Amino acid sequence: MNERRATDRQASLRNYIKLYLILIRTSVRSRMQYRFNFAFGTVLAAIIQLSEFLMIAIVLAKFGAVRGWTMHEVGYLFAVMTLAKTLYRTFGNEVHNLERYLVEGELDQLLTKPLPVLLSLLPRGFRIMFGEVIQGGAILAWSLGQMLHSGQISWWAIPQTIFAIVTGGVVLFAIGMATATCGFWTTRISMLQNMTEDAAQTAARYPLTLYPGWMSGLLLTAIPVGLVGYLPALYILRGELGLWVFPVLAAASCLVVLLALRFWKFGISKYQSTGS
């Protein structure tokens, strides 16, 4: 009996994954119907990202270092955060846009589908963010290249960085989902997103030692954006802490996403439609 239940569960998981991939393909196809718009958006996204990095680069060019962190090290923090955010927004953009579903009552339609809400929600906003990938990848390649050349880091830094980007993406997704869940009570979440996503991610592009103790503590625990770039960079770039950073990052990202999922489930059980 138990074996049969386990087989059924595996089969339904396989079906969900298959369905998820089909929905993603549909979403990509619909976007590619407007090729000029796609190219236009990609170019502008890259320019926006570049201008954001220029702002940081200019500060570093003017002052040399930020609290002992060189331009390449801060470039690394910026690039890891950009790529982790890109990963989160590629797969989880609709979680970030949940307010629209709540305000316009679109969530009610998703609730009537014979699928978990997250599964029908996530593929809708799937988008390929070439602009961000190109720009984040270029800054990462530049900063890693310079540090490899100077002997500050070894080639091991590359797989370690990829690991940090993946766990970072998961952490950002968890923060985004937990923030969005508050919308089941408050409906409007943009203000909260400004604090937990926009401001927090901007803060974590710089070394956390810039901030007062209470703020860096907050960015490592309550809104753990410090786990995305800063914590792995301490080991990968500066040889501080130890190899234990990686299992800790893996465990922390699993923990935050599980907590966020539980919160989401609880939140959705309390959801009341805004009506139409």
Helix 157-181 × helix 245-269 angle, to 10°: 20
Query: Cα–Cα distances in Å, from 81 out to 116, 165, 172, 274?
Result: 29, 8, 9, 35
> Taking the complex as a whole, how short is the minimal distance between the CB of residue 143 and another protein, in angstroms?
19
Query: Cα–Cα distances in Å, from 196 out to 152, 185, 222?
Result: 33, 17, 9
> Taking the complex as a whole, how short is the minimal distance between the CB of residue 186 and another protein, in angstroms?
10
**Which strand (E) or helix (H) includes residue 217?**
helix 213-220
User: For binding to another protein (CB under 8 A), which residues are involved?
Assistant: 34, 36-37, 40-41, 44-45, 47-48, 51-52, 54-55, 58-59, 61-67, 188, 190-192, 194-195, 198-199, 202-203, 206, 209-212, 215
Contacts of 184 (CB under 8 A, 6+ apart): 102, 267, 268, 270, 271
| CA–CA dist 20, 142 (Å, integer) | 35
